[in-house]
């Protein structure tokens, strides 16, 4: 719902907010952190406002907040300000969880009114980074695929973790992401097979909620938190992957 977002994480930035900006670009926005209240007294245009808690779960949505108005939500930690109409277009609703990902091309401090051309991210061999994703979670698959493909990363996916081995043989990925939510044992077996057959492929194992205590030596991370830095993690892992022979 927002491609270029300014983080207002100091007192001065929060006080200034969108004041002085002629308008919000269609894909631009601002996050006030921390904050649970906003006003539009000095704006000349309406905005959409999304209040989220510390886990980035949407607590309240205020659409088309016109100038000289207030909006508050005591349960919020952050406030996301967007161009009016974005929430309706994107279907933003209470209870959803936002996922943040860094996008290459805009240096730190880039202003919302500035225009910039995205730079092409560093990629692996043959100019392309490839990922194989094994998960039975449709929602996680859609979000992960969206975040990766928008960064020009090719994605092949399967809903059966055991089938990731076949996809690796066919598509020669740099990184394999395995969702261990349904079976940590099946994920462990897949990782062991990958390490034996394709040791040059990097593996990232994720799990819904707290990873189980027994993980057979696997390093398992919480998959929804992983989404926030998924593209960066994939690129870092891809940089360390060996060439396919």
* pLDDT tens profile 184-209: 888 888 888 888 788 889 999 998 87
Reported as a single tens digit per residue, the pLDDT across 109-156 is 444 544 333 333 334 445 689 999 999 998 889 889 888 988 889 999
Quick one: pLDDT at residue 118? 37
Q: Identify each DSSP E strand in the chain by its residue range.
A: 4-8, 28-32, 37-39, 47-52, 58-65, 70-72, 78-83, 129-134, 153-158, 175-179, 202-207, 220-222
pLDDT of residue 198: 83
Q: What is the pLDDT of residues 73-120, one digit of tens each?
A: 999 999 999 999 999 998 999 999 888 765 554 444 444 544 333 333
Please, where in the chain does CATH 3.40.50.280 lie? 125-240
**In whole angstroms, what is the distance from residue 8 CA to residue 14 CA?**
5
Tell the residue number behind the tokens 């390490």, with chain if given.
Answer: 195
Numbered ranges of CATH 2.60.120.1140 in the chain: 4-90
Which CATH number is associated with domain 4-90?
A: 2.60.120.1140
pLDDT for the residue numbered 241: 59
Four-way CATH pick for 125-240: 3.40.50.1970, 3.40.50.2000, 3.40.50.300, 3.40.50.280? 3.40.50.280
What gap in Å lies between CA 3 and CA 151, rounded to an integer?
12
Which pLDDT belongs to residue 75?
Answer: 92
Q: How far is CA 63 from CA 49, 81, 102, in A?
A: 6, 10, 25
User: Tokens 């094994």 belong to which residue?
Assistant: 134
Long-range contacts of 221-228 (CB under 8 A, 24+ apart): 223/137, 223/140, 223/179, 223/181, 224/97, 224/99, 224/140, 227/99, 227/101, 227/140, 227/143, 227/144, 227/147, 228/99, 228/100, 228/101
pTM above 0.95, yes or no: no
What integer pLDDT is reported at residue 122 of this predicted model?
A: 38
CA distance 78 to 95: 15
């Amino acid at each position: 719902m927002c491609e270029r977002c300014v983080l207002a994480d100091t007192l001065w930035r929060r006080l200034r907010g969108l004041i002085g900006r002629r308008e919000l670009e269609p894909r631009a926005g601002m996050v006030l952190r921390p904050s649970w209240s906003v006003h539009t007294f000095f704006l000349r245009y309406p905005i959409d406002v999304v209040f989220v808690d510390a886990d980035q779960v949407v607590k309240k949505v205020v659409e088309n907040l016109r100038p000289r108005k207030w909006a508050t939500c005591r349960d919020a930690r952050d406030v996301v300000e967007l161009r009016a109409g974005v929430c309706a277009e994107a279907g933003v609703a209470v209870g959803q969880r936002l996922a943040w990902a860094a996008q290459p091309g805009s240096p730190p401090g880039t202003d919302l009114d500035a225009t910039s051309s995205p730079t092409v991210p560093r990629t692996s061999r043959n100019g392309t980074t490839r990922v194989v994703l094994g998960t039975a979670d449709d929602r996680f698959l859609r979000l992960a695929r969206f975040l990766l493909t928008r960064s020009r990363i090719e994605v092949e996916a399967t809903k059966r973790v055991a089938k990731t081995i076949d996809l690796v043989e066919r598509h020669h990925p740099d990184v394999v992401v395995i969702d261990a939510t349904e079976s940590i044992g099946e994920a462990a077996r897949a990782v062991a097979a990958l390490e034996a057959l394709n040791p040059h492929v990097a593996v990232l194992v994720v799990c819904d909620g707290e990873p189980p205590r027994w993980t057979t030596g696997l390093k398992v991370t919480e998959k929804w938190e992983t989404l926030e830095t998924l593209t960066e993690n994939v690129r870092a892992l891809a940089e360390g992957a060996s060439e396919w022979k």
